[in-house]
Amino acid sequence: MKTHYEIVIFEGTESDPEEYSQIACGMQVVNKMTKYSDQVTCKKCLKVIQKRVIASLVTLGNDGIGGAKMTSNKAENSKLILELLERSKLK
């Protein structure tokens, strides 16, 4: 059985405990889902997680692990992203 990734869109507060979330791969009903990316086994969900990680690394910029400026060169960009991922693992 696959474990899907649950993305929390709106976390419940004390006054409004209702929590809104969706499945990363777009499925409506799943048997198993988790908020923890390391427990996810659905390949589509994993792809979404990867994209989100990369996007957050790029957005984090200098506050986080030291962002990289994206260039118009695709190969150059993926190299930069790999570097960012490496650096984030070290922290």
What is the binding site for Zn ion (CB under 5 A)? 4, 25, 42, 44-45
- For 30, residues 6+ apart whose C-beta sits below 8 A from its C-beta are 2, 4, 23
Instruction: Report the nearest approach of Zn ion to the CB of residue 22 (Å).
Output: 11
Nearer of residues 44 and 87 to Zn ion, judged by Cβ = 44
**Which residue is it, tokens 């506050």?**
63
SS3 content of the chain, % helix, strand, coil (to 5): 45, 15, 40
Instruction: Report the nearest approach of Zn ion to the CB of residue 40 (Å).
Output: 7
Instruction: Report the nearest approach of Zn ion to the CB of residue 30 (Å).
Output: 7
Nearer of residues 1 and 75 to Zn ion, judged by Cβ = 1
- Residue 57: half-sphere exposure toward Cβ, Cα within 13 Å: 23
Nearer of residues 21 and 77 to Zn ion, judged by Cβ = 21
